Chain A
Amino acid sequence: MSTATMGPAVSGIPRGKGPRTGGSGPLLAEKTVLAAHTELEPPFPGVDVLSSQGSLADSLQGTWEQPCRSAAASEPLTSRDYAATVQLITELGREDEEEDRPSEFALGRTLSVLEQAARELRLSFPLAIVAVGPHRSLRLLWSSEGREVRLVVGGSTANKTYLYWEGPGQRCVDYSVDGARLASLLRWTLHGI
């Protein structure tokens, strides 16, 4: 369900300016050749984020450190900002107080959506501003050139999960949350398309 009528178009990924809030920017200049991987792998191989026992954050320790790479292309397939975003989320999962930690549900759903978006955006995936929200939800925010998108993943199925975006003269809540939709909104945020 959408609250507003206009939405960003889904299209390709032109080169352009990085996000104001996005740290090192969406593009990764690294050219390291690796032969280990021939295709994009999930960021957390072997981790079932929705059903794993114990602390999900502990399970993820170390898995964010390297961007996914392709031997065929001889270049990383995901940006350092994606890895950094996952790191920020993982760090939140290690907070001492329960109310400061996102729920396992929020962690799992968020990482799943981000992984899907990263597969589409690859080097253009921008760094998010991450915070725990009410009911141990996870709130992520990207902003650039007067446009902003927020991903809010509720702490449980009883809480709301949605994408919110706004730009000059338009704003919308979208409850259809998946990686493709997030990728589309991030392209719009970064490049206005």
Chain B
Amino acid sequence: MPIIPIPCQEIVLRAILRRGWVDENARITAHAFIRWPKDNDGLSVNLRSKTDVESWLSSFKKSYGAASLHCGRIRDLGLGLDVVQMEADEQPEHAVITGLPYQDDDPYGAERLASELVKIARVFDTTKRTKNQYQ
């Protein structure tokens, strides 16, 4: 599948979809960067520059905010991670972090890379939202 690299200066947002993905002091935990089976192409993120954050985070059943990551810093980790868009993706704001293994396939790799992403992640938003809460 053709992919489009995301420029290094871009900021991507990772939605915090579960309570344990942040700690009680609003710090991002490694749980937030574990790849799920539905993450076929990679860890799902949104481009900050193209995202209406309020609308995006309110579209999930529950969300607890978002973490931000600088694409250049992800690449600078030198651990085989990249940030790309799939050409076939119909959502122009959507991208994926590639290079993360599944925890069942490679626990060491999955946990280590999650730790590295935690180190460069910043808390972007910590508002708890539920889907259609404003309707």
Contacts and interface: CB of A to CB of B under 8 A. Distances in A.
> Is B one of A's binding partners?
yes
Contacts, number: 75
Contacts of B31: 129, 131, 133, 139, 141
A62 B36 CA distance: 32
A21 B104 contact: no
Contacts of B24: 21, 23
Given A21-B25, A23-B24, A150-B30, A137 B103 contact: yes
Interface string A164-191: 1010000111000000000000000000
Contacts of B61: 97
Contacts of B23: 20-21, 129, 143
A154 B111 contact: no
B108 A134 contact: no
B107 A160 contact: yes
Interface in B83-135: 102-104, 107-108, 111-112, 115
A173 B107 contact: yes
B104 A154 contact: yes
Nearest to A155: B104
A150 B118 CA distance: 14
Interface of A: 3, 20-21, 23, 88, 97, 100, 129-135, 137, 139, 141, 143, 148, 150, 152, 154, 159-160, 162, 164, 166, 171-173
